[in-house]
Every structure is written in C-alpha cells, then in structure tokens.
Amino acid sequence: MDADTSIETFVNIYNFSKSAWEPLVEPWQLGFHMVKTTQPEKLSIDFYSRKMLEVTITSQTIALLTKAAQFMQQDEDMLTKPRGSEAPYRIHNQTGYPLHVWAVSDDSPEGSAMAIKLQDGETAPWRFEEWEKMRESLAPEGVSGIVGVKLEDSPFESIKEISVNRECEQLYTLRPARNDVLHRLLCEVRLGADNVKYITFRSPFLVENNTQIPVEMGILDPQGTHLIKVYKIVPGESQPAPVEAAYHQAVVIRPDAGFGYTWSTERLFWRDLLKGPTKGITCKSEEENAPPFYFQMHAKYQKKNAGARQVIHGYPNS
C-alpha cells in the first residue's frame, strides 16, 4: 500500500488596532507519505514540507493572546449576556453641535439603518452592521470602517468618508467657509484596554487638566464679554472647545467653583498661544486679602500646521 497526500494551512489573527485580519501563520504545505509492504514486512510514515513554516508575532499578537488567556480565566458567565450586546466601537461627540453619524458602504446611503445621532458631550456604542451579519462574513481591511458625519444645526456640509480602522488623529476641513475661514473637525481614534475602539469627534483646540483638582473652562462670546458655556474638567481628563469657537473665541480657566476663585484674568486665544506658548495664569480669590491661585500653562502645536492641534497643559503653582 502506498498513500500520499498533502495539507495546506494558514492561520489569521484579528488586529484590534487596525480592525483587520492579519496572517499569524503564512500559507504552509505539509506532506504525508505512507508505505506498507509485506515482503519484507515494513511500515514507513513520512511527514515533509518543502517550505519553511513562517509565523508572524507582533506586539499586538502578544497583547491579544494575553487578553484571551485572561478572558478564559475569568469567572464571568458569558452565557447570561444577551448576544451582540457588546459593541466594538464607542463614539464620543465633543464638537459643540448635535452629531449625525452613519456607516458608509457601496449599498448604504446616508440615513441607512446603521446610523446614530449624538448630542454634544454624549457617548454611545457603535457597530457597522448588525451582529447577525458580522458573523456571516469577514470583510477585509478597507471594505468596512468608513463613517460619514454631519454637524446638525450648523451650516457645514457632510463629511462622507472618514476611516476609523486605524489608531490616529485625522483633520478634516468643514465646508463652506465661514467669513473666509475654513474650520476644522478632528477625528481621534484610539484603542482602549478593553479592545474597544474609542472614536472622538472634536475641534483641534484641546485643554488638558494635568493638575490634581477639578478645573472649569469657560467659552467667551466673540466679543469677549460674556460666558456662553462652561465645561468641568476632572484631573487627568481633557475638553476641546466647540468647533467654531476654537477659532473665533477665547477661553478662560479657573479652579472648580467650590474653591472660591474668579475666572482667569488671562484669556487663552489660539493665536496668542503661538506667540507665547508658556505663561502663567492668575485666578483671584473671591475673598478679600486672600492670595490668588496660579496655573502654569504650556501650549503644544504642530509647527508645520499651527491650526492642526493646540493642547494646553496646566500645572498648579498655588
């Protein structure tokens, strides 16, 4: 008896950072040959391959395998969870406007079933198609992961192709121009420790609170006389200015209202930050003869594209 066969194998693994399947084991052919004779009585079995086995190991692969091992050891009963309850994406709206988001594909026009509307500051889970359809097909990179957005109650047109496959910060131009100014929308995509993609839509002007106390950020009107909106930023978190306000309006800072300090005498305007990126900020006390509160502020920006990103770090000096 003489038997000869071969098996060709390959293994793919999912890269959560790119939202795409990648090869773990490259296509590899394994041969099997068996011979049995009666005179003389002999059995010979051979396994052979004419190609080297190639295994691709990346940091993402190691992280995923570690996460899988932790998942297998947890005590949580997964069978009690409703099927499809955990979404692979979360969308956060920090534009200052209601935000309409929809999935884009060749057969999915604007306003399709996979769409959501978020108010300013709202976060919601998101997936590109129903989980029943996702288990039936594995779309390659580039086929899925495209969204369209529209800032509701604004004069700006829709942006119809925003890729959220990879972790990055991407800047988009809002049209038409307003008073000869082209405003910007920034899409930030990052992968959380829970392997969920967090997608944030915001302006490029971002204020980070690196102090140990809650800080309030106030948005002034275009004339710089009245506050039109106040945001509270807890330690370690950040808050962008609304889309149009990031260009036209100034920002003031103070410790949380419970500390008893007034708004900063300095007004933070993006053009001024380019001229002097490091400066002190003073907030006077509401009590007479009490010392003021000081912040040390530093602005970061891309020198090649000053409008792309202005980030303000605060450190208390009081």
User: Do 226 and 295 sit in the same domain of this protein?
Assistant: yes
Residue 314 has pLDDT above 70, yes or no: no
Strand partners, 8: 29
Strands of the sheet with 99-103, listed across from one edge: 115-118, 99-103, 146-151, 159-163
pLDDT tens for residues 69-91? Answer: 777 777 766 566 655 457 889 99
Least confident piece of the model among 41-55, 122-136, 171-185: 122-136
pLDDT at residue 198 in the model = 95
Nearest to 216 by CA among 260, 181, 173: 260
User: Do 93 and 198 sit in the same domain of this protein?
Assistant: yes
Give the integer Cα–Cα distance in Å for 98 and 122: 9
User: Do 209 and 312 sit in the same domain of this protein?
Assistant: yes
User: Do 151 and 197 sit in the same domain of this protein?
Assistant: yes
Give the integer Cα–Cα distance in Å for 33 and 25: 23
The last residue of one of the domains, among 144, 176, 202, is: 202
Residue 68, classed as helix, strand or coil, is helix
Give the integer Cα–Cα distance in Å for 111 and 101: 9
Give the integer Cα–Cα distance in Å for 281 and 267: 9
Strand partners, 148: 102
pLDDT tens for residues 156-177? Answer: 999 999 999 889 999 999 999 9
How far, CA to CA in Å, does 153 sit from each of 76, 119, 178, 206, 286? 44, 11, 15, 22, 38
The last residue of one of the domains, among 80, 99, 123, is: 80
User: Do 71 and 102 sit in the same domain of this protein?
Assistant: no
Q: What are phi and psi of 13, to 5 degrees?
A: -135, 145
pTM: 0.79
pLDDT tens for residues 10-63? Answer: 999 888 888 788 889 999 999 999 999 888 888 999 998 988 989 988 887 888
pLDDT at residue 101 in the model = 95
Residue 210 has pLDDT above 90, yes or no: yes
User: Do 257 and 155 sit in the same domain of this protein?
Assistant: no
pLDDT at residue 63 in the model = 80
Domain boundaries, position 129: 89-202
User: Do 188 and 212 sit in the same domain of this protein?
Assistant: no
Q: What is the mean pLDDT of the chain?
A: 85
What share of the chain in percent tops pLDDT 70?
85
User: Do 264 and 283 sit in the same domain of this protein?
Assistant: yes
Give the 3-state DSSP-derived string for 125-193, with helices as H, strands as E and coil as C.
Answer: EECCCCHHHHCCCCCCECCECEEEEEECCCCCCCEEEEECCCCEEEEEECCCCECCECCEEEEEEEECC
Q: What angle do CA 241, 151, 84 make, to 5 degrees?
A: 100
User: Do 144 and 180 sit in the same domain of this protein?
Assistant: yes
Contacts of 14 (CB under 8 A, 6+ apart): 20, 21, 22, 64
User: Do 117 and 159 sit in the same domain of this protein?
Assistant: yes
Q: How many residues in total does the chain contain?
A: 318
Residue 225 has pLDDT above 60, yes or no: yes
Domains held by the chain: number: 3
Nearest to 217 by CA among 283, 307, 275, 291: 283
Residue 259 has pLDDT above 80, yes or no: yes
pLDDT tens for residues 279-302? Answer: 899 999 999 889 999 999 999 887
Identify whether the C-beta of residue 256 lies closer than 8 Å to the C-beta of residue 215.
yes
The last residue of one of the domains, among 80, 98, 117, is: 80
User: Do 312 and 215 sit in the same domain of this protein?
Assistant: yes
Give the mean pLDDT of 263-275. 90
User: Do 98 and 21 sit in the same domain of this protein?
Assistant: no
pLDDT at residue 76 in the model = 65
Give the integer Cα–Cα distance in Å for 110 and 42: 70
Residue 109 has pLDDT above 90, yes or no: no
Place 217 in a pLDDT band, splitting at 50, 70 and 90: very high
Residue 309 has pLDDT above 60, yes or no: no
Residue 290, classed as helix, strand or coil, is coil
